[in-house]
Amino acid sequence: MSYLELLKLASPEGVIVVTALVVLSVGLVAKRAAAACTFIAALGIVIAIVTVLSLPRNETMFGGMLVISPLTSLFKIICLALAFFTILLTSAEKAPRHPGEYLALVLLATVGLMLLVGSEELLMIFIGLELLGLSLYVLAGFDKTDVHSAEAGLKYFLFGSTSSAFTLFGISLIYGMTGVTSLAAISTKLATMSVEPLLAVGIIMTLLGFAFKIAAAPFHLWAPDAYQGAPVPSAAFIASGSKVASFFVLGKIVLVGFAPVHGSAGWHTMLAGWSPILAALAALSIVIGNLVALAQSNVRRLLAYSAVAHAGYTLIGFVAADRQGFSAALFYTTVYAITLIGAFGVVGVVRRETGSDNFSNFRGLSSRSPLLAGCMAIFMLSLAGIPPLAGFFGKFYLFSVALHAGANHALLWLVALGLVGSFVSLYYYLLVLKAIFVDPSSLALAEPKEHTVVVFWQESTVALLGAAVVLLGVMPNILASRILAAIP
């Protein structure tokens, strides 16, 4: 097998890398750096998507380091799309000081995403994680004029590195005990060998490392600051792309790699394995995420805590541990990602117009910009799980799969917890909408809205995302059937 073949199979990643380098250089050189870089970055992503579509259907290289299957291709496209939207959002923000660097970092993070998605081998996964992580740490702290950004970056970095250490340690333990790093091989090994304490530790540490990445409680403490402090596009990307890829990989690891040590998380039938651990994480995330979100007065922080809760819901899909569960979880996290980018888009606009993003800053949005207000309503309600939006179908899918999985409704406790969480969440999402639609505006906005091209792009992005959420809610089959069909 030649490097040319490898290059062909890794062409999407290659395209993005090249784009990143080009953007970096253009950013140093060009006068209207921001616009040029954005254009190039967007173009690069489009090309990458086309390249993904032209990949062969099924290929595996190097024992799982690079896997091409319908599922990975689909999710590579999804991650690229999320990056695309992030870049569009970036264009609307007040230009960062080094747009080239910023966009390059986003693109490099995207590469990390794609590597993660396309890998079924522990080392490659780790590389992808690190690439993603390092890029995101910098992106979080990118705004040097804002002390919150620095705080966000630092916190994210510290937590992130620690968790990377955990993950690496866990991976090495697993390698040590099993002698292989490819997920398929690990699964074969685990099926035959008994789980010794050290192996168990390895598995657990790996899981916990990922728990950090998906912001599951109690490893979520970085999330509020990161979401609130980082520049809006960074936070959007952290919330969306990083989440999707992390869940994807986590799913691959537990369902493919650790499949034999599944255990059981049923209420009366608890059995040691990774699923009770994930179930515990899910339960904690749902409870903590929803309860703390109730107390928030800043929209971004609220989104962060709600992210914790949604991570919990998604994990329920994994706990169910079958094809449908994986499909449900992936569907849910995709929909969630789309929703969050849209929500952050609106937050960005409000922040730019009113200076901050507390609840009070959102007042009167419905009269200033009905389109954005309507889209925010769609996003918030989708998160709350109100039909006919995508979030509702996602929750239904997740919960029905979970209930189906255990014999005699063993996972009912988890589903019930999820429902209680949803119920609580409606309250705080409605508070956001209340501020937007009901409360009288208390801010005097002197300058009228400028109808620049930038604003147009931003609004159309948000509108497009809103429409996507509604579409996926009314016709979820478009995505759900594809995901389900793609899972072997």
Contact 357, 300 (CB under 8 A): yes
61, β-bridge pairs: 66
Single residue of 36, 154, 184, 430 touching another protein by CB under 8 A:
430
Single residue of 388, 455, 464, 470 touching another protein by CB under 8 A:
388
Give least dist CB 427 to another protein, A. 6
The residue type at 57 = R
Count the residues of the shown chain that bind another protein, applying the rule CB under 8 A: 34
Give least dist CB 335 to another protein, A. 14
Give least dist CB 416 to another protein, A. 6
Please choose, out of 8-16, 243-251, 336-344, 427-435, the segment that lies near another protein by the rule CB under 8 A.
427-435
Beta-carbon contacts of 416 under 8 Å, excluding residues fewer than 6 positions away, are none
- Indicate the DSSP class of residue 62: G
Please choose, out of 182-190, 288-296, 298-306, 391-399, the segment that lies near another protein by the rule CB under 8 A.
391-399
Regarding 264 and contact with another protein (CB under 8 A), the answer is no
Regarding 484 and contact with another protein (CB under 8 A), the answer is yes
Give least dist CB 181 to another protein, A. 34
H or E element at residue 396? helix 390-405
C-alpha 244/C-alpha 336 separation (Å) is 9
Does the N-terminal peptide bond of residue 12 adopt cis geometry, omega within 30 degrees of 0?
A: no
Regarding 386 and contact with another protein (CB under 8 A), the answer is yes
DSSP line for 239-304: IIIIHHHHHHHHHHIIIIISGGG--B--SS--BSSHHHHHHHHHHHHHHHHHHHHTT--BHHHHHH
108-145 in b/e form (b: 16+ CB < 10 A) is bbbbbbbbbbbbbbbbbbbbbbbbbbbbbbbbbbbbee
Please choose, out of 67-75, 239-247, 338-346, 478-486, the segment that lies near another protein by the rule CB under 8 A.
478-486
Single residue of 43, 54, 191, 427 touching another protein by CB under 8 A:
427
Single residue of 146, 169, 404, 454 touching another protein by CB under 8 A:
404
Q: Which is nearer to another protein, 204 or 474 (CB)?
A: 474
Contact 95, 143 (CB under 8 A): no
- For the four alpha carbons of 18, 21, 24 and 29, in that order, the dihedral sign comes to negative
Q: Which is nearer to another protein, 270 or 403 (CB)?
A: 403
Single residue of 269, 297, 460, 481 touching another protein by CB under 8 A:
481
Interface residues for another protein in 353-382 (CB under 8 A)? 366, 381
The CA-based dihedral angle spanning residues 148, 150, 155, 161, taken in that order and rounded to the nearest 10 degrees: 160
Single residue of 415, 465, 468, 472 touching another protein by CB under 8 A:
415
C-alpha 402/C-alpha 27 separation (Å) is 48
Contact 66, 124 (CB under 8 A): yes
Give least dist CB 351 to another protein, A. 25
Phi-psi label, residue 313: left if phi above 0, alpha if psi -120 to 50, beta otherwise: alpha
Regarding 477 and contact with another protein (CB under 8 A), the answer is yes
Single residue of 419, 455, 464, 471 touching another protein by CB under 8 A:
419
Residues belonging to the chain: 488
Regarding 399 and contact with another protein (CB under 8 A), the answer is yes
Report the SS3 class of residue 59: strand
Q: Which two tokens stand for residue 237?
A: 């990307």
Give least dist CB 426 to another protein, A. 5
Regarding 291 and contact with another protein (CB under 8 A), the answer is no
Give least dist CB 391 to another protein, A. 11
Report the SS3 class of residue 121: strand
Give least dist CB 430 to another protein, A. 6
Regarding 397 and contact with another protein (CB under 8 A), the answer is yes
CA angle 132, 135, 141 (to 5 degrees): 135
Q: Which is nearer to another protein, 62 or 423 (CB)?
A: 423
Single residue of 434, 445, 449, 452 touching another protein by CB under 8 A:
434
Q: Which two tokens stand for residue 192?
A: 């035959």
Please choose, out of 80-88, 212-220, 419-427, 453-461, the segment that lies near another protein by the rule CB under 8 A.
419-427
Regarding 463 and contact with another protein (CB under 8 A), the answer is no
Q: Which is nearer to another protein, 72 or 382 (CB)?
A: 382
C-alpha 133/C-alpha 139 separation (Å) is 10
Q: Which is nearer to another protein, 455 or 474 (CB)?
A: 474
Give least dist CB 324 to another protein, A. 8
Contacts with another protein, residue ranges (CB under 8 A): 366, 381, 386-388, 392-393, 396-397, 399-400, 403-404, 409, 412, 415-416, 419-420, 422-423, 426-427, 430, 433-434, 437-438, 475-477, 480-481, 484
